Amino acid sequence: MNFGDVRQTIDGFGASDAWADSAGPAFTDAESDLYFSAQNGIGLSYLRVSIDAKGRDSAAVSIAQKAAARGARVWATPWSAPGSWKDNNDVNNGGHLCAAAGQGLCTASHYDDWATRLAGVVSMMKSNGIDLYGLSVQNEPDWTASYNSMLYTDQEMVDFVKTLGPRLTALSPRPKLMVGEFANWGNIWSLANAIEADPVAAAYTDIFGAHQYFGASSFQGEHSRPLWQTEMSSFESF
């Protein structure tokens, strides 16, 4: 192994508290050390927290505080906008964020509303002593789940990035903006091409994200942004 011949940059390794109950027990100091301390544990470098439809951390904020205190970077992902802001009028079962009245059950556009709420998450975390390292547009925008979920086409995500981006840019520090986080790894490439074909969306986008529940996919095209695998929690044969 030649450590001077760098082929790939690894930004870090992390875990998620996305299914932790906000009313449940928070991590003890000893548990937090086991996860996030490089001296007394495995030294995870990232914590992924989930954002609920009301713009709150769905787990105990103290988990993120303890992770940050031990040097981990905290970033956040939403699962769904409020049901009334989606074309299926349901926080569950997929559905798309309302772009205009007449789209499914939509009575108006809610891109501005949701962008404002997501930017508010950054401010809320900062008020709790946490500067979010990054903010994702959406968890698994290609997967209709019976639980909280929301879908985006590539073009819808490009359009929403152009709405959300300016709000994040107005914040200090500005969190990095992630797009993708598809359930199917192979779907990231068409979105990457769509983002990079739009100079405005590209200027706001920092990271491409993917999950790996339907196999891996070879790298396609020339993409200058980091690619993160942000979730894998099962053990398929591949």
Domain ranges of the chain: 76-231
Cβ–Cβ under 8 Å, residues 41 and 35 = yes
Which pLDDT belongs to residue 73? Answer: 98
Three-state secondary structure along the chain?
CCCCCCCCCCCCCEEECCCCCCCCCCCCHHHHHHHHCCCCCCCCCEEEEEECCCCCECCCHHHHHHHHHCCCEEEEEECCCCHHHECCCCCECCCEECCCCCCCCCCCCCHHHHHHHHHHHHHHHHHCCCCCCEEECCCCCCCCCCCECCECCHHHHHHHHHHHHHHHHCCCCCCEEEEEEECCHHHHHHHHHHHHCCHHHHHHCCEEEEECCCCCCCCCCCCCCCEEEEECCCCCCC
d(CA 99, CA 159): 9
- At the top level of CATH, the class of 76-231 is alpha beta
Q: What is the pLDDT of residue 218?
A: 77
- Which positions of the chain have pLDDT values less than 50? none
This prediction's pTM: 0.94
pLDDT of the residue at 92: 98
Q: What sign has the CA pseudo-torsion 27, 29, 35, 36?
A: positive
